[in-house]
């Protein structure tokens, strides 16, 4: 069963750290685009689900982000919602290897990228 196109209603981009270093050979936090367009579905847990799962509320809520099946993502990357500029840190990746139709990511909201 394939993933219906209408479900993927948020245009995102994938970014990764550049690996650049400064004069002292210290890493520079510089993000570069590695996938300029990726359609996704963003689902947020209800407030009660968050409190029940974590036993506390958190300042940065977790989200489930679903995209078409892919294996080229990792937890060092981040997602940026193109329309709003909101940044999501990828914490876990769960591809559906059986049907190879979607990949779910557990993400944490990380502000607006500035």
Domains of the chain: 5-109 (2.40.10.270)
How far from 30 is each of 21, 68, 113, CA to CA, in Å?
9, 27, 11
Residue 91 has φ and ψ, to the nearest 5°, of -105, -30
Give the integer Cα–Cα distance in Å for 40 and 108: 15
Top-confidence residue, 34 or 110: 34
Residue 51 pLDDT > 60: no
* Predicted model pTM: 0.80
How does residue 64 score in pLDDT terms, banded at 50, 70 and 90? very high
Residue 58 pLDDT > 60: no
So what's the pLDDT on residue 60? 66
């Amino acid at each position: 069963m394939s993933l219906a196109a209408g479900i993927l209603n948020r245009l995102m981009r994938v970014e990764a750290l550049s690996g650049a270093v400064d004069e002292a050979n210290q890493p520079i936090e510089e993000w570069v685009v590695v996938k300029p367009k990726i359609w996704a579905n963003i689902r947020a847990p209800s407030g009660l689900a968050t409190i029940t799962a974590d036993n506390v509320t958190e300042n940065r809520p977790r989200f489930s982000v679903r995209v078409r099946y892919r294996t080229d993502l990792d937890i060092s990357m981040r997602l940026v919602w193109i329309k709003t500029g909101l940044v999501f840190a990828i914490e876990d990746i769960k591809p559906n290897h059986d049907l190879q139709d979607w990949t779910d990511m557990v993400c944490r909201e990380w502000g607006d990228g500035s």
